[in-house]
């Protein structure tokens, strides 16, 4: 318990902020920390490992970053030994492991966010990896003070594996960036605008990961009656873009545009200008695009699998995962939606998206921290 008048000292394992480009977990951490206010009575320290990479920090909040190296990457010693030592040095009241894993050694109350159970469903390449994921992590989870997850779907998956975590498991859904609730000002990058050359387009998000199903998005595009419709593909690194470009079927050459990394503002512009978003993923702990697209006023097409069943809004079209005819029809319907119908649905979708704000997620995380430390 903190001394009367002393701030609550909260540390966060934030390696996903220590990178060139933010992805899902990094978004989660940056948006969470951006909600912090002095009146909350919290002193924040973010921990990361690589001083040679950028560290993304909130612009206006007073957040301390501690970037340190620790030998033994092969055996996760930065996580298992370095971080607990740092916890003691900073005299933390609570340490939040926000990226699926945590240390077994926990010198102060520890909270872990388990986003999904995908790492436990993958085949381990070595005996060490198998022991790490299937022995060490569950043991650490059993020792921690609280577990946070991001959807009811993930909650069910976690409890199916570790039912003993039920009493300390809290579901706190993600939010989306505040800019989605403000008048649009962003534009597409000039290079992307030039590549599209005025054509109407749909958007695919997810990159080359097999469960995201870029191939399914391509099949849906190829089956469209409008052969002028293009697809903007997002989430591919430089090498993956080149490999995917070379592998495109002949009939889709010139119809698929691979976007380089987009800022949040550029992504909002992309959503807004698209006829629809194709999101054929087979599993997500939380599907940001399902909410972001609707907040931007754009139809989004997906299957009600995993957490996506919790993200159905006014601009959602649900289709069976393996029914190509249904996907083809859904995209055609979205592309030919009368403007007045789309505008009406967009207004209702923006109102629906108000339920996904980071301020609420942040408040509920603070409640967890205060509960495990006994702070008021």
Per residue in 56-73, pLDDT tens? 998 877 899 999 999 988
pLDDT at 376 over 50: no
Confidence of residue 291 (pLDDT cuts 50, 70, 90): very high
Per residue in 200-244, pLDDT tens? 999 999 999 999 999 999 999 999 999 999 999 999 999 999 999
pLDDT of residue 183: 87
End-to-end CA distance of the chain: 9
Q: What average pLDDT does this structure show over 303-330?
A: 97
- Rg (C-alpha) for the chain, rounded Å, is 22
Q: Which structure tokens are listed for 348?
A: 């209702």
pLDDT at 2 over 60: no
Calculate the average pLDDT of the chain: 94
Per residue in 354-375, pLDDT tens? 999 999 999 999 999 999 998 6
Q: What average pLDDT does this structure show over 29-33?
A: 92
Confidence of residue 1 (pLDDT cuts 50, 70, 90): very low
Q: Are 245 and 253 in contact (CB under 8 A)?
A: no
Q: Which structure tokens are listed for 28?
A: 């989660």
pLDDT of residue 24: 85
Per residue in 263-272, pLDDT tens? 889 999 999 9
Q: What average pLDDT does this structure show over 287-295?
A: 96
pLDDT at 185 over 90: no
Residue 266 — φ and ψ, nearest 5°? -70, -35
Q: What average pLDDT does this structure show over 170-194?
A: 92
Sheet strands side by side (includes 256-258):
256-258, 230-234, 201-205, 276-278, 300-302, 316-318
Per residue in 99-120, pLDDT tens? 999 999 999 999 999 999 999 9
Confidence of residue 188 (pLDDT cuts 50, 70, 90): very high
pLDDT of residue 295: 97
Confidence of residue 75 (pLDDT cuts 50, 70, 90): confident
Confidence of residue 137 (pLDDT cuts 50, 70, 90): very high
pLDDT at 82 over 90: yes
Domains, the chain, ranges and CATH?
A: 8-175+358-373 (3.40.50.2000), 178-353 (3.40.50.2000)
Q: Which structure tokens are listed for 353?
A: 């998206």
| Residue 122: Cβ within 10 Å count | 10
pLDDT of residue 40: 94
pLDDT of residue 50: 95
Residue 218 — φ and ψ, nearest 5°? -65, -40
pLDDT at 186 over 90: no
| Residue 86: Cβ within 10 Å count | 20
């Amino acid at each position: 318990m903190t001394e009367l008048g002393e701030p609550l000292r909260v540390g966060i394992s934030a390696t996903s902020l220590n990178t060139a480009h933010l992805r899902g977990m990094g978004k989660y951490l940056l948006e969470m920390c951006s909600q912090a206010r002095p009146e909350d009575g919290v002193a924040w320290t973010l921990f990361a490992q690589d001083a040679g990479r950028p560290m993304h920090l909130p612009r206006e909040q007073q957040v301390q970053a501690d970037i340190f190296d620790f030998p033994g990457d092969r055996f996760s010693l930065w996580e298992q030994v370095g971080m607990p030592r740092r916890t003691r040095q900073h005299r933390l009241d609570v340490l939040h492991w926000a990226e699926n894993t945590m240390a077994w050694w926990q010198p102060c109350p520890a909270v872990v966010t388990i986003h999904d159970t995908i790492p436990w469903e993958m085949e381990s390449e070595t005996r060490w990896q198998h022991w790490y994921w299937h022995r060490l992590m569950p043991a650490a989870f059993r020792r921690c003070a609280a577990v946070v997850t991001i959807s009811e779907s993930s909650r069910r998956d976690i409890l199916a594996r570790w039912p003993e975590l039920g009493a300390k498991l809290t579901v706190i859904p993600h939010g989306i960036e505040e800019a989605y609730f403000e008048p649009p000002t962003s534009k597409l990058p000039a290079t992307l605008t030039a590549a599209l050359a005025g054509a109407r387009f749909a958007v695919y998000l997810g990159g080359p990961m097999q469960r995201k199903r870029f191939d399914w998005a391509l099949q849906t595009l190829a089956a469209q009656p409008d052969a002028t419709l293009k697809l903007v593909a997002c989430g591919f690194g430089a090498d993956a873009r080149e490999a995917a470009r070379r592998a495109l079927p002949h009939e889709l050459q010139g119809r698929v545009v691979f976007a380089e990394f987009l800022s949040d503002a550029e992504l909002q512009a992309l959503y807004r200008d698209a006829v629809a978003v194709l999101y054929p993923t087979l599993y997500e702990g939380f599907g940001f695009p399902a909410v972001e697209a609707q907040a931007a006023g754009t139809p989004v097409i997906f299957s009600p699998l995993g957490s996506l069943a919790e993200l159905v809004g006014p601009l959602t079209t649900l289709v069976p995962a393996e029914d190509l005819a249904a996907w083809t029809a859904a995209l055609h319907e979205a592309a030919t939606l009368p403007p007045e119908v789309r505008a009406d649905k967009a207004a209702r979708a923006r109102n629906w998206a108000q339920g996904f704000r980071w301020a609420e997620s942040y408040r509920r995380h603070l409640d967890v921290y205060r509960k495990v430390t006994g702070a008021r």
